[in-house]
Structure 1
């Protein structure tokens, strides 16, 4: 489980850096081709928590219709993003991804409702990745011994 926690954390970091670099370039926020993306150290344990939150949920609903699974994943991602944003603001004084200035679809700066299709599709896209990581974990454990 620790191995998948680390893999989800690293994968989330990489995905966020890729997303922010691409988004900023396409929206004209930056005018060079460095494609410099950003993330936060706080995000590693948040992404890593997928092993405890997403995996059991995936196992419980994997036979359900895809549209229902996607909707459940979307709600789950929104819930985790809102709750962790709220916790970070409460304990550190700020939420690193404050969406309030960027979107009229922001809910208290913690989530963006216009990201619903992204979370819906990401939840479904993670299903085969999750299965792959479960198969890969024993090989990594063997290699680390």
Structure 2
């Protein structure tokens, strides 16, 4: 589980940096600077729990599983964001966004979290079946 936690933390960081870099493009900042926070590593690492849940739900359809992951991600985001906000350490603030809950959740991100959950499921199930995240031919 520790290896999967680290893997999910790193993947989450990468996804966040890519997402914020794309947002730079939207704002016409062609430096395409992406960013994250050290706090995000353990938060994304919690996606390690998707693997065991997905094995329990393997007979459920994709949309059901994706919605369940989305709800789980929202719960983790709400819980961690609320805790970090109390200390003024929260690296995100959705307070100005439409459909936000206490500035720590954006409901309009639901489709993105559904896809992220399914991505984490795929990665974890691929590596459990002997797959690897390394490109073929790379050194071990």
TM range (shorter): 0.7 to 0.9
The match for 2:125 among 104, 115, 131 is 131
Partner of 2:29 in structure 1? 32
1:8-31 per-residue CA deviation (whole Å, 9 max, x = no partner) reads: 1111111100001102312x1xx3
The match for 1:117 among 111, 119, 128 is 111
Q: What is the RMSD of the two structures over their aligned residues, measured on CA atoms?
A: 1.9
Please tell me whether the aligned partners of residues 4 and 133 of structure 1 are also in contact (alpha carbons under 8 angstroms): no
Where does structure 1 differ by over 6 angstroms across 4 or more consecutive aligned residues? none
Runs of 5+ consecutive residues of structure 2 not aligned to the other structure: 133-139
Using the alignment, how far apart are the partners of 1:50 and 1:116 within structure 2? 16
User: Deviation at 1:88?
Assistant: 1.0
Count of residue pairs brought into register by the alignment? 133
More helix by share: 1
Q: Normalized against structure 2, the TM-score is what?
A: 0.85
Q: Normalized against structure 1, the TM-score is what?
A: 0.82
Partner of 2:100 in structure 1? 106
The match for 1:89 among 85, 89, 93 is 85
Partner of 1:140 in structure 2? none
Partner of 1:3 in structure 2? 3
1:75-98 per-residue CA deviation (whole Å, 9 max, x = no partner) reads: 1111110011011112x2242111
Please tell me whether the aligned partners of residues 21 and 36 of structure 1 are also in contact (alpha carbons under 8 angstroms): yes
User: Deviation at 1:126?
Assistant: 2.5
Please tell me whether the aligned partners of residues 50 and 120 of structure 2 are also in contact (alpha carbons under 8 angstroms): no
Please tell me whether the aligned partners of residues 98 and 109 of structure 1 are also in contact (alpha carbons under 8 angstroms): yes
Runs of 5+ consecutive residues of structure 1 not aligned to the other structure: 138-142
Using the alignment, how far apart are the partners of 1:109 and 1:95 within structure 2? 10
Partner of 2:18 in structure 1? 18
Distance of aligned partners of 1:32 and 1:89 in 2 relative to their CA distance in 1, 3 Å threshold:
closer
Using the alignment, how far apart are the partners of 1:22 and 1:12 within structure 2? 15
